[in-house]
Amino acid sequence: MPRPLGHDRIAEVGEGKLLLSCPEPKGWRARAPGTPTSAEHPGTCVRWEEQLFEVEDIGIRADGSVVYTLARWDERHAIRVIKAYDAATEAERIEEKRAATRRVEGRTALLLAAPLVGCLPAPVQERLEHEYNVRGSTMSLVSALPFWIVGWVSLILLMASAIGGVRILPQPVLVLGVYFLAESSARLAVCIPQGRPIGTPLGTLLYAAWRQLGRFRG
Q: Please indicate, yes or no, whether residues 204 and 140 belong to a single structural domain of this protein.
A: yes
120 and 210, same domain (yes or no)? yes
Q: Are 123 and 211 contained in the same domain?
A: yes
> Is there a domain that residue 71 lies in?
yes
- Supply the angle between the helices 136-162 and 171-191 in degrees, to the nearest 10: 150
- Residues 120 and 44 occupy one common structural domain: no
Q: What is the mean pLDDT of residues 7-24?
A: 87
Asked, for residue 122, whether it belongs to a domain, the answer is yes
Task: Tell me, yes or no, whether 212 and 163 share the same domain.
Answer: yes
Residues 132 and 71 in one domain: no
In a domain, 23, yes or no: yes
Based on the fold, state whether residues 75 and 124 are members of the same structural domain: no
CA dist., res. 138 & res. 68, Å (int): 43
Beta strand spans in the chain (E): 9-14, 17-22, 45-48, 51-60, 66-72, 82-84
142 lies in a domain?
yes
Is 196 contained in some domain?
yes
Report the alpha-carbon distance of residue 178 to residue 79 in Å, rounded.
69
Same domain, 159 and 212: yes
Q: Confirm if 55 and 68 have CB atoms less than 8 A apart.
A: yes
Q: Does residue 157 form part of some domain?
A: yes
Same domain, 131 and 195: yes
Do 178 and 121 share a structural domain?
Answer: yes
Q: In the predicted model, is pLDDT for residue 38 greater than 60?
A: yes
Picking from 113, 114, 164, the residue whose alpha carbon sits closest to that of residue 137 is 114
CA 39 to chain centre: 37
Residue 155 domain-assigned? yes
Instruction: Decide if 12 contacts 18 (C-beta within 8 A).
Output: yes
Task: Specify the pTM.
Answer: 0.60
Q: Is the pLDDT of residue 1 over 80?
A: no
Note down the domain range covering 173: 114-217
| Same domain, residue pair 28 and 80 | yes
Q: For all residues of the chain together, what is the average pLDDT?
A: 90
Q: How many domains does the chain fold into? A: 2
Confidence of residue 39 (pLDDT cuts 50, 70, 90): low
The tens digit of pLDDT for each residue in 40-95 reads: 789 999 999 989 999 999 999 999 899 999 999 988 888 888 999 999 999 999 89
Pick the closest to residue 68 from 102, 111, 23 (CA basis): 23
- Ramachandran angles phi, psi of 32, nearest 5°: -105, 110
Task: Specify the DSSP element, H or E, that contains 137.
Answer: helix 136-162
- Distance (Å, rounded) from C-alpha 184 to C-alpha 143? 9
Clarify whether residues 144 and 187 are in a common domain: yes
